[in-house]
C-alpha cells in the first residue's frame, strides 16, 4: 500500500510581511494537526528574538529569559519540550520556535516531522501529508486569511519506499 503524498511548504519568516503572520499560521497548524502532533521541541541554547518580530516582543523576551533560567541536565543543548495540550505552552512554543537555532513539531511516535524551524526562523518548513494539508488550508481560509501563493502551487510527492531512503 502506497503512503500518502507529502507536500513541502517553505515557511521562513522572510516569506511573510510580518513575522506574526508566520506565527499565526503555525498556531493554526497546531490546532488542526493536534491529533497527529506528538511533541513540540526546541534546542534551548542561544535563543534570541528575530529582528522582524514586532508584536509581543517584550512578552516573548520574558519567555526566553525564563527558559534560560531553567535547570537542564548534564548535557546542555538537550531538547526542551512544550506540552501541545496546554494552550499557553503552545502559544509560547510558536514564538520560541522562531527564536531557536532548531525547533520541530514531531508526529505521534516521532516518526515524522511536520514542521521544523532553524536559523532563528529564517528557515522553516512544513512537511504535510495531503489530507492534513487540505484540512490546514481550509482552517486558514476559515479564519479569513489567505494561504500563501507558493503553498497553493506546491504539489505533494510520494515518499520514497523505506528501503530507498538515505540514512
Tell whether 155 is covered by a domain: no
Give the per-residue pLDDT at 76.
53
Domain that residue 88 falls in: 6-147
Give me the half-sphere count of Cα atoms (radius 13 Å) on the Cβ side of residue 4.
11
Tell whether 163 is covered by a domain: no
Tell whether 1 is covered by a domain: no
Q: What is the mean pLDDT of the chain?
A: 85
Give the per-residue pLDDT at 39.
87
Tell whether 43 is covered by a domain: yes
Q: Which of 97, 96, 102, 95 is nearest to 77 (CA)?
A: 102
Tell whether 137 is covered by a domain: yes
Give the per-residue pLDDT at 160.
64
Tell whether 153 is covered by a domain: no
Statement: residue 73 has pLDDT above 70 = no
Q: List C-alpha distances in Å: 56 to 91, 142, 163.
A: 11, 24, 46
Identify each DSSP E strand in 108-150 by its residue range: 113-118, 123-129
**Number of separate domains in the chain:** 1
Tell whether 34 is covered by a domain: yes
Band (56; pLDDT cuts 50, 70, 90): confident
Cell 489530507 identifies what position? 131
**Contact between 70 and 80 (Cβ < 8 Å):** yes
Band (166; pLDDT cuts 50, 70, 90): low
Give the per-residue pLDDT at 9.
95
Tell whether 62 is covered by a domain: yes
All cell numbers assigned to 97: 520556535
Amino acid at each position: 500500500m502506497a503512503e500518502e503524498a507529502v507536500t513541502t511548504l517553505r515557511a521562513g519568516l522572510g516569506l511573510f510581511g510580518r513575522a506574526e503572520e508566520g506565527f499565526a499560521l503555525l498556531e493554526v497548524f497546531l490546532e488542526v494537526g493536534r491529533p497527529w502532533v506528538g511533541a513540540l521541541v526546541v534546542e534551548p541554547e542561544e535563543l534570541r528574538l528575530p529582528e522582524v518580530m514586532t508584536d509581543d516582543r517584550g512578552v516573548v523576551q520574558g519567555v526566553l529569559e525564563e527558559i534560560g533560567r531553567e535547570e537542564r541536565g548534564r548535557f546542555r543543548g538537550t531538547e526542551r519540550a512544550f506540552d501541545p495540550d496546554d494552550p499557553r505552552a503552545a502559544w509560547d512554543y510558536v514564538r520560541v520556535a522562531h527564536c531557536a537555532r532548531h525547533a520541530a513539531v514531531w508526529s505521534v511516535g516521532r516518526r515524522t516531522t511536520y514542521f521544523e524551524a532553524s536559523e532563528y526562523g529564517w528557515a522553516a518548513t512544513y512537511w504535510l501529508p495531503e489530507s492534513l494539508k487540505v484540512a490546514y488550508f481550509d482552517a486558514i481560509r476559515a479564519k479569513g486569511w489567505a494561504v500563501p501563493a507558493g503553498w497553493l502551487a506546491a504539489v505533494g510527492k510520494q515518499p520514497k519506499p523505506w528501503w530507498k531512503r538515505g540514512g
